[in-house]
Structure 1
Amino acid sequence: MLTDVLGRPVRALLTAGSVHDRTPAEQVLADLRPACLVADRGYDARAWRAYLAARNTLAVIPAQRKRGDTAYTPARYGYDVNRYRQRNAIERTFAKLKQFRRFATRYDKRPECFFAWFQLGATLIWLKTVHMP
């Protein structure tokens, strides 16, 4: 199992490329009870916000810029900007993972092999951050 710098478990789930991130998110969060969930605009949906509210999880999700076909709708939901800024750590991690050519181009066709390379790349990134002098 992968862990972050503080030793907390990190969960990852491999899905098909055409599956939206929100689809397997409920499966990943099934037995977790986080105090807040930080996500990008793609997670801004009424059903997702209702699911999080039912679990007493604070949704730190900015509203989509455009709702409907033509009109700009201002944000209906507020969010904690300072907490949302911490999301860039995840984005930087994915940028570092994509430096591994095998991960970025998905040479491996079998999901087990691809996920193993993901775990290896994440471990190498973790070792660089922990053991840097």
Structure 2
Amino acid sequence: MVDQDGPPVRLLLTAGQASDKTVATLLLGALPPSQVVADRGHDSMALVRFVTECGGEAHIPTQSRMRLQRCVARDLYGKRNLVERVFCRLEQFRRTATCVDKHADTFLAAVALASTRIWIRAIESAP
């Protein structure tokens, strides 16, 4: 999960076959969400309900097979690109890109260290 400026805020490691929408509530649980922007892969009424119950707004487009379609503002949906950019930055670190670690704990620690470097760069380049 990233904040409105782009650096990662929360990390959670799941199994490769697990869906992202099953753990989204765990990531959002500790932080009070105001605006949640996600892609179609997170389309779940349970997640939308969770965000609205916490006092936030969910900006998640519905999948094409759904009868009732939700509209999402194009400029706001473009903010989802921040998450994709963080993944690209994390893949610049060889250890996180190639998954050389055999244990989940050490891989998560490597991702946390790479995220820390991303935060440091963001702080240094801030005006």
Give the TM-score of the pair, scaled to structure 1: 0.76
Q: Does 2:72 correspond to 1:79?
A: yes
Whether the aligned pair in 2 keeps the contact of 1:39 and 1:87 (CA below 8 Å) is yes
Q: Which residue of 1 aligns with 2:42?
A: 43
Provide the residue aligned with 1:59 in structure 2. Answer: 58
Identical aligned residues as a percent: 39
Verify: 1:106 aligned to 2:78, yes or no.
Answer: no
Post-superposition shift, 1:79?
Answer: 1.6
RMSD of aligned C-alpha atoms?
2.8
Corresponding residue number in structure 2 for 1:131: 124
Partner-residue secondary structure (3-state), 2:13: coil
**Any gaps of 5 or more consecutive residues in structure 2?**
none
Given the superposition, is the C-alpha separation of residues 86 and 5 from structure 1 closer, same or farther in structure 2, using an over 3 Å criterion?
closer
Q: Say which one has the larger Rg.
A: 1
Structure with more contact order per residue of length (Cα contacts < 8 Å, sep ≥ 6) = 2
Q: State the AA in 2 paired with 1:94.
A: F
CA distance in 2, matches of 1:62, 1:4: 19
Hey, what's the Cα distance between the residues in 2 that align with 1:51 and 1:5?
20
Structure 1 residues 4 and 45: CA distance shift in structure 2, 3 A: closer
Letter in 2 for 1:116: A
| Higher normalized helix content (fraction of residues) | 2
1:126 counterpart letter in structure 2: W
Distance 1:76 1:9, change over 3 A: closer
Q: Which residue of 2 aligns with 1:95?
A: 88
Mark the runs of 5 or more structure 1 residues left unpaired by the alignment: none
The one-letter amino acid paired with 2:54 is R
C-alpha distance 121-31 of structure 1, shift in aligned 2 (>3 A): closer
In structure 2, what is the Cα distance between the partners aligned to 1:47 and 1:33?
Answer: 17
Counterpart CA distance in 2 for 1:118 and 1:51 is: 27
Moved more, 19-28 or 120-129: 120-129
Q: How big is the shift at 1:52?
A: 2.7
Give 1:34 deviation, angstroms. 1.1
Amino acid at match of 1:40: D
